[in-house]
């Protein structure tokens, strides 16, 4: 699970690399963002962000490029869906703890 600061740092690093015309790699993003490569690979939202930048830079508007874009978007959607499910479960658990006991 990424924290907002890590996500912001990774996004800034990706944007800087892309603006400079440099390849957006996990190694380059890790170095610029001050995060470990392992963190970038393990966290689905960070990984999806980097993949999005990588594909955006590499993709021409061809069928192959569009397929790559769709794959990157699916990865991002999966990451968001996973976080939503986790948050919903946390809400259910908190609701159960706060519910008054039946008389």
- pLDDT, tens only, 76-102: 999 999 999 999 999 999 999 887 766
Q: How far is the C-alpha of 20 from the C-alpha of 18, rounded, in Å?
A: 5
CA dist 65 → 1, 27, 44, 48 (Å) = 29, 23, 21, 16
Q: Is 102 helix (H, G, I), strand (E, B) or coil?
A: coil
Q: Is 69 exposed, middle or buried (0-12, 13-18, 19+ CB in 10 A)?
A: middle
Least trusted range by pLDDT, from 12-26, 27-41, 47-61, 82-96: 47-61
Supply the pTM of this predicted model.
Answer: 0.56
Whether residue 58 is predicted with pLDDT greater than 70 in this model: the reply is no
Least trusted range by pLDDT, from 8-12, 45-49, 53-57, 58-62: 58-62
């Amino acid at each position: 699970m990424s924290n907002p600061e890590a996500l912001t740092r990774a996004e800034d690093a990706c944007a800087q690399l892309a603006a400079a015309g440099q390849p957006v790699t996990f190694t380059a993003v890790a170095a610029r963002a001050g995060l470990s490569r392992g963190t970038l690979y393990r966290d689905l939202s960070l990984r999806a962000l980097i993949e999005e930048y990588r594909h955006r830079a590499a993709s021409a508007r061809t069928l192959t490029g569009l397929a790559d874009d769709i794959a990157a978007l699916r990865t991002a959607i999966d990451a968001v869906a996973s976080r939503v499910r986790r948050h919903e479960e946390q809400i259910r658990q908190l609701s159960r703890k706060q519910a008054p006991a039946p008389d």
